[in-house]
Amino acid sequence: MKTAIIGATGYGGIELIRLLSNHPSVEQIAVFSSSQQGVKMTDSYPHISERFFESLQDISIEALQGFDVIFLSTPPGVSAEWSSKLSAAAKVIDLSGDLRINDPAEYEKWYGRETASKEILNKAVYGLSEWNREQIKEAQIIANPGCYPTAVLLGMIPLVKSGAVDAATIIIDAKSGTTGAGRSASAMTHYSEMNDNLKIYKVNEHKHIPEIEQELAGFLNDTVTITLSTHLVPMTRGMMATMYASVPEGFDEQKIKEILESSYKNTPFVRVRPHKQMPSTREVNASNFCDIGWVYDERTKRLTLVSVIDNLVKGASGQAVQNMNIMFGLEETAGLNGLPVFP
């Protein structure tokens, strides 16, 4: 397979290179940039010296011909322009948020810009691998989920779908390593600001809120409104979503256990922990796993659900490769078999 990465200089791009370099079916990885044409990837990332020799190419329709799949690891706005141009000749996996929100007005409200055409939005399949596998198999364009939505949805979908939680009571407290903010320097992620510190940000304004609500609503067949609080923690990578919801009458610890375990018994990357055994971010570090832990409180009739992922892998590039595997009928775990890096 011949692959191309547009926006290869960011953390998502270099993680794609790492994963695709170990993929048994990938023979070429070409890299593209809108501003660093001719620059070697090793100039920015010396750790790939002697293993990756490509230089960045200019983005053009001509240069992007002949690839089987093109990854758009770009800021919002780029995919809205390029996805329609590229998808006629290759499969496209978009890691930005441009194609995730079905309603253009809702996208513009949260992202502050216009989205792709309605035609492209209708073609794009939301790439939550474990839950949209059949649609992904037939897709030409994938809207790769965001990192917070991946962690939240993998934990909550089975319970919302089965009615085991009251969706109106969902509150999410989520924390991410600083790579989630991207590679560009900012006061928020500056070492002196972030070290020995914990920051909440975008309170009630995070652009992943409508993405989570949209996908949960699809399984509930009704509108869903959530509270999502996002925090940056002083670590490089990793994400933990701690979720709270009320449990209706008729559901108990045993039923919750059965719902979660049966939902993921045949999936290679979602691991459900025994009751009260909680996961940590280090236990999925640099891997495509999502680990889910949970505690049901009989006294309050509330569920505490904890979902951990590596924000750069399962939350971005790893899920993109998983979706590529599904789209091309490859082994779903191809290129993603590495164990978590611990400690």
Per-residue pLDDT tens over the stretch 56-110: 999 999 999 999 999 999 988 888 889 989 988 899 999 999 999 999 999 999 9
**Whether pLDDT at 22 is above 90:** yes
CATH number of the domain located at residue range(s) 148-311 in this protein: 3.30.360.10
pLDDT at 149 over 90: yes
Q: What is the pTM of this model?
A: 0.96
The pLDDT assigned to 259 comes to: 98
Catalytic residue among 19, 147, 243, 305: 147
Over residues 128-147, mean pLDDT: 98
Cα(12)–Cα(17) distance, rounded to whole angstroms? 9
147 as an active site residue: the answer is: yes
Does pLDDT of 117 surpass 90? no
Q: Give the per-residue pLDDT at 185.
A: 77
- What is the percent of the chain with per-residue pLDDT over 70, rounded to a whole number? 100
Q: How far apart are CA 324 and CA 332, in angstroms?
A: 9
Every domain range in the chain assigned CATH 3.30.360.10: 148-311
pLDDT for res 116: 86
What are the percentages of helix, strand and coil residues in the chain, rounded to 5? 35, 20, 45
Q: Which amino acid is at 194?
A: M
The one-letter code for the residue type at 75 is: P
The domain made up of 2-144 is a member of CATH 3.40.50.720: yes
Whether the pLDDT of residue 39 is over 90: the answer is: yes
Residue 181 has pLDDT above 90, yes or no: no
Mean pLDDT of 238-258: 97
Range(s) within the chain of domains with CATH label 3.40.50.720: 2-144
Average pLDDT taken over every residue of the chain: 95
